[in-house]
Chain A
Amino acid sequence: MTDVQFRFRDDELAGDPAVTVDSFFDQTNATAVRIEPGEDARALLPFLGRLQLIEVSFPAWTDGRGYSSARVLREAGYTGELRAVGDLVIDMLSHLRRCGFDAFAPEHGLNHADAQAAFDRWDNVYQVTGDGRAPIWARRHG
């Protein structure tokens, strides 16, 4: 299992390892699941109540399906840990964060200073993405 390098939550790390979506549907007590890019995040919606951790896998950072998975889960009200796992690069961190990820487990550790700069890059944003940030249009018409 890859280590979590960045986490924006105060609660304890989930104890159970994440299982595949198929296994998750077979295990009525599982509390952590990992979804792959081709899997439908909406299939998890009936189970959000018992999920503490959802890992979203990025086998290649240029495959952006995980961003939509994250937003679909957050829009449906998921409040547990949403962890991006895999081929994460510095330049995607702020965008992942905006889509609802609050934990990051890159398969190759990232330079801490560069990553911090990336998280803090954008003081303002143009879109509403459910991350609680007021978009520029809201500031203009506040």
Chain B
Amino acid sequence: MLKYSIKRLLQSLVTVFIVITLVFLLMRLLPEEGYFGDGYDKLTPEQRENILRKFGLLDPWYIQLRNFYSSLLKGDLGKSIIYRPDVPVIDIIKLKIPFSAAFGLAAICVSLFFGLTMGIHMARNKGRFWDKVWSSYVVFINAVPAAVYLLFIQLYITGLKFRGRSIFPMLFNRHDPRSWILPLISMSLGGIAGYALWMRRYMVDQLNQDYIRLARAKGMSDKQIMVKHVMRNAFVPMAQYLPASVLLTISGSIYIESLYSIPGMGGLLVDVIQRQDNVMVQALVLIYSTLGIWGLFLGDILMAIFDPRIRLEKREGAR
């Protein structure tokens, strides 16, 4: 187990290194306008050169790469140029991440709880009434564009009134707990459908396994078999993606955050790309890709904890 973890850790480190380098090199291909901010047109060629020199962009690429790494190691992601001129990127996202992460984590908990419950319920009633009811929910969520039902939720549920006052406010206000509810529900709907679908699928797979038959022949009740054999086995393949989705909650939800005016990270990347804030783009791409890699790493470790076969050093088929 330790050997496996160390191996995966080293692999991840190498991957992170490659990704960071690639991101940096790709950023050099972006148009240079992104470094000048507003008033680019009014600058003389000399002024432009001065600014580029200030950023160190006239150095050879390997010097730039070295400088980039040394500031990265100090935790310096650079300063925004256009989005909020001269403010360190860290300070900008520091204010936004808590909102996205809080909503994201809450949504994951809600989706896991309801999604897994729904999936288990579907698997246990496979082909019967409740399986069909929940399946139609899953199909609905997957087939209808999210924008449609999310907008409906905001429009109609905020319109509900109790004694003449609306129950749920239209916009997010961090001091009003009621305003947290609708965005949270909206964010969880997709997750619930996803977890339910996969949990059902994996459980049905498990139920057809020979060892479930043996467990029954052993005299275990359906309930004991569900708890001791089926549920855990079914959850293992899903555990792999859990850490990545937890870590990436900080990227927020573009659509829901803008619907309810939540000051989170959602849309920030798109925004800074449109406004050509090269330093911000670089920092965000870096953060997201690194988190993605660490998420996969943690997922693999989690899988190995659950599934002893993975700890084997030898490769036995694809799993």
Partners in one complex: no
Chain A positions within 8 Å of B, measured between CB atoms, are none
